[in-house]
Structures are given as structure tokens and as C-alpha cells.
């Protein structure tokens, strides 16, 4: 339990909010919480405390000793998400094709949000699947691309104010393998596929899939849903390493709210800021503690659901094609291609994104990686003295 009546604006974390309001929230909403939400509250509340175990260090500069406690490693924890960057990136070698990239987003009408809440695993997975299928089908047409692209798909469920807004982000290669597997078909300048056609195709495929796979659920959906214009967009996102790094930091590694966006917590309320993209300005919202937790917890995904998925050229069954794509790109443009960033370099580069905050960064959507330093003098020259292992295994 937090002792002070109001925490300082600098250094406030989601864990502080959970420790203050979590017990009351758990009691009040005991029958309406998913297991993954209960786990998130328990993990985040214990994150970086004695309950998680830790390591004892001695500072080589000031000779003081201190404990550095382990994080919870829950995927909903903003403090721990950055720590998982390295292990995740080491598996991403196949994605680093030296080509242009596009960013696409697909959303669903507001009338479907209640159905998404009721059957999250099915509806989230379906939206990711049909969005990727629509992109692949359109890219397969010669007039658009004439090839199979790689697609890295990420599910987000929030907007800036932590409202419920399911949508899918996709990083798409600006080109693809031809049907015979012998050629790399590049995108035409900054065009990949028509947005209006993509929106209609996603809506139609989603409707047909629900009607076929969940007929009883389909009967409960508002009929007007299929007459509305579904919103999507596609834009050129850059080339090579820069595009991949930008996408990783902005979409794949992001959680519903970062600690840097939480400004204050008092006995009853939480204050946080969010980006109003309409006015391109930062706004502030103050919510009651329980309402803040309710909004946050609706973005904790069901246990076992994978929010990052791979389609097309990047699907695990097509690794040979991904390797061929790399060779084709090198052979076709050996002097024009940017050298691909190796995994150690990529880890370091993404790490630098998170270190901005330690040197005056003001972007609250970039989280600081938890790197042990002496709490007495700030030195990073430290020596490990002892380790207190965490209880059990982490998820």
C-alpha cells in the first residue's frame, strides 16, 4: 500500500496504481474478471519487489550495496515489456528483408465491440486472420503486386484514453515472391493496394467467416454492421532497417499504457496523458482509480492468445521462400540495397530507443529498459554479490 497521499509526478508507475486500487477492484469485480486479468494484477502489483526475488549488488564507485528485484515479466506490464525485447528480437532474423515496407491498419465498427468482448479469442483471432488474408489476396493480383508479401500482424485493443478499440496493425513488405517463386515483385513506388477495396474485402471475409464458423453468434450481430464502411488505411512506411525499427518500437513492443504516461495517483484518482491525434497535442485525463483499472484490464488479452502473428512470406511454413526472397533482393539490386541490420545491432538500436528517457526524452510512449544502476550515486559499475531466485517460473 502506498503511504503518501499523492505520489510525485515523476516516477509514478502502473504498479503503484495496482497496489493502491487493486485489492478493492478484485473484491468488487471478483465474478467478472478473466484469469489473465487476475494474474496481471497480481504480477504487476508484485513487480520489482521482494516477492519476485532479486540480486544484490555492490557499487564499484561508492561501495554501497543494494538489491535489484526481478520484474514480473507479465506481458501487460509496461515496465517488463522492454526487458523482453532481446529474447523476442533474436527470433526475428527472417523478417529483416532489405526492401520497402508498408503499414496497414484494419478496424471494426463500434457495433461489434460487445461481441468482441464476449468472445475475445475467436473474434480477435478472426480479425487478424481475415485482415492478412485480404492483404494476401489483393497483393496476389497482378494489377496490385503480383506476389506473396510478408506480413507481421499485431493486435491492439486500446485508444489513447484506454477505451476499447480493437484493431490490427500490419507491417507488410513492399513486394513479394512471384507465384513461381523465381522473382521478387516490388511494389510500385509508394502504392501497394487500394484502401477502399481492402476495407470491403475485410468486412466481407469477416462476415462470411462468422456466419460459417459461429452461426449462433452471427445471429446476434447487428445487421447494419455489414452495411457500414469499415475503416482501413495503408501507407508507405519506409525502407529497410529504419522501417522495421520504427514498427517494432511503436506497435509490437507497446502495451496499453506506459509508466511515462501516468502523471499522478492520489487516494481516489489516477491522472494520465494521451495523444490526441486529431489536434496533434497531448491531453490529460483524470479517472477514479477503479475506473482506470477497469479500462486498463479490458486490454489484458486472454491467456494463451498470441497478439503477434505472421502470415504470407513470413509464415513459419514458408521459411524457404523467405530465404529465397533475400537472395533475389540481393541478386537483383546488389549495390542499391541497404545492409541488413544483424540481430545484435537491432537489439542495441531498439535499446537506444528505450534509453532516450534517461537523457531527457519526453516521448511517453517510449519505455525505459530496466538496467541496474546504483541508487546511491547512479553508477552502472556494479558487482554481483548474491542472488535470491524468483519463486516458481514466470510467464
Report the C-alpha gap between 237 and 174 in whole angstroms. Answer: 9
What's the longest Cα–Cα distance across the chain?
70
- Which residue numbers in the chain have pLDDT < 70? 1-10, 82-95, 333-371, 391-395
Sign of CA dihedral 125, 200, 325, 338: negative
Q: Flag whether 223 is in a domain.
A: yes
Report the C-alpha gap between 123 and 305 in whole angstroms. Answer: 11
Structural domain total, the chain: 1
The C-alpha torsion from 190 through 198 and 240 to 147, rounded to 10°, is: -90
Q: Flag whether 267 is in a domain.
A: no
pLDDT for 346 equals: 56
136 closest CA partner among 181, 85, 225, 198: 198
pLDDT for 387 equals: 86
Report the C-alpha gap between 249 and 246 in whole angstroms. Answer: 5
Report the C-alpha gap between 258 and 81 in whole angstroms. Answer: 10
pLDDT for 73 equals: 85
Report the C-alpha gap between 32 and 25 in whole angstroms. Answer: 11
**In a 3-state reduction of DSSP, which class is residue 196?**
helix
- Asked if 274 and 264 count as a contact pair (C-beta separation under 8 A), the reply is no
Q: Flag whether 230 is in a domain.
A: yes
pLDDT for 36 equals: 95
Supply the pTM of this predicted model. Answer: 0.84
CA 109 to each of CA 38, 202, 221, 257: distance values in angstroms, whole numbers, following the listed order = 29, 12, 11, 23
248 closest CA partner among 94, 370, 85: 85
Q: What are phi and psi for residue 60, nearest 5 degrees?
A: -75, -20
pLDDT for 241 equals: 72
At 66, which helix (H) or strand (E)?
strand 65-69
pLDDT 10s digits, 5-49: 343 344 789 999 999 999 999 999 988 899 999 999 999 999 988
Q: Flag whether 61 is in a domain.
A: no
Radius of gyration of the chain from its Cα atoms, rounded to whole angstroms: 23
Report the C-alpha gap between 290 and 294 in whole angstroms. Answer: 6
Q: Flag whether 128 is in a domain.
A: yes
Q: Flag whether 73 is in a domain.
A: no
pLDDT for 337 equals: 52
pLDDT for 3 equals: 35
At 19, which helix (H) or strand (E)?
helix 14-28
Query: Which three three-digit cell numbers place residue 106?
Result: 484494419
Domain residue limits at 147:
97-256+301-340
Q: What angle do CA 237, 242, 246 make, to 5 degrees?
A: 70
pLDDT for 5 equals: 38
Q: Flag whether 308 is in a domain.
A: yes
Q: Flag whether 235 is in a domain.
A: yes
| Residue with the three cell numbers 522495421 | 244
Report the C-alpha gap between 371 and 68 in whole angstroms. Answer: 10
Amino acid at each position: 500500500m502506498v503511504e503518501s497521499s499523492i505520489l510525485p509526478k515523476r516516477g509514478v508507475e502502473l504498479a503503484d496504481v495496482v497496489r493502491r486500487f487493486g485489492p478493492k477492484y478484485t473484491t468488487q469485480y471478483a465474478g467478472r474478471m478473466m484469469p489473465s486479468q487476475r494474474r496481471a494484477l497480481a504480477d504487476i502489483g508484485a513487480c520489482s519487489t521482494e516477492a519476485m526475488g532479486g540480486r544484490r549488488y555492490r557499487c564499484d564507485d561508492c561501495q554501497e550495496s543494494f538489491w535489484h528485484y526481478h520484474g514480473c515479466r507479465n506481458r501487460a506490464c509496461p515496465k517488463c515489456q522492454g526487458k523482453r525485447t532481446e529474447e523476442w528480437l533474436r527470433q526475428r532474423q527472417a523478417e529483416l528483408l532489405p526492401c520497402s515496407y508498408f503499414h496497414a491498419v484494419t478496424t471494426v465498427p463500434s457495433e461489434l465491440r460487445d461481441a468482441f468482448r464476449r468472445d475475445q479469442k475467436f473474434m480477435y483471432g478472426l480479425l487478424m486472420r481475415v485482415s492478412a488474408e485480404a492483404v494476401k489476396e489483393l497483393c496476389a493480383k497482378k494489377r496490385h503486386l503480383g506476389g506473396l508479401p510478408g506480413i507481421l500482424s499485431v493486435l491492439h485493443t486500446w485508444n489513447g484514453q484506454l477505451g476499447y478499440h480493437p484493431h490490427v496493425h500490419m507491417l507488410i513488405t513492399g513486394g513479394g515472391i512471384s507465384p513461381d517463386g523465381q522473382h521478387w515483385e516490388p511494389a510500385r513506388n509508394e502504392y501497394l493496394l487500394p484502401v477502399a477495396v481492402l476495407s470491403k474485402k475485410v468486412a466481407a471475409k469477416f462476415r462470411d467467416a462468422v456466419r460459417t464458423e459461429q452461426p449462433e453468434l452471427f445471429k446476434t450481430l447487428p445487421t447494419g454492421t455489414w452495411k457500414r464502411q469499415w475503416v482501413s488505411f495503408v501507407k508507405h512506411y519506409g525502407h529497410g532497417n529504419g522501417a522495421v525499427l520504427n514498427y517494432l518500437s511503436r506497435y509490437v513492443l507497446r502495451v496499453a499504457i506506459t509508466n511515462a504516461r501516468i502523471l499522478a495517483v492520489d487516494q481516489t484518482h489516477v491522472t494520465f496523458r494521451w495523444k490526441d491525434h486529431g489536434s496533434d497535442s497531448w491531453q490529460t485525463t483524470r479517472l477514479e482509480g477503479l475506473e482506470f483499472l477497469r479500462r486498463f484490464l479490458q486490454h489484458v488479452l486472454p491467456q494463451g492468445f498470441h497478439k503477434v502473428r505472421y502470415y504470407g512470406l513470413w509464415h513459419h511454413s514458408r521459411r524457404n521462400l523467405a530465404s529465397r526472397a533475400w537472395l533475389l533482393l540481393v541478386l537483383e539490386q546488389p549495390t542499391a540495397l541497404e545492409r541488413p541490420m544483424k540481430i545484435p545491432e537491432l537489439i542495441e538500436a531498439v535499446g537506444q530507443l528505450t534509453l532516450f528517457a534517461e537523457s531527457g526524452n519526453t516521448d511517453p510512449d517510449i519505455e525505459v529498459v530496466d538496467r541496474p544502476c546504483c541508487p546511491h550515486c547512479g553508477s552502472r559499475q556494479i558487482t554481483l554479490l548474491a542472488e535470491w531466485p524468483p519463486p516458481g517460473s514466470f510467464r
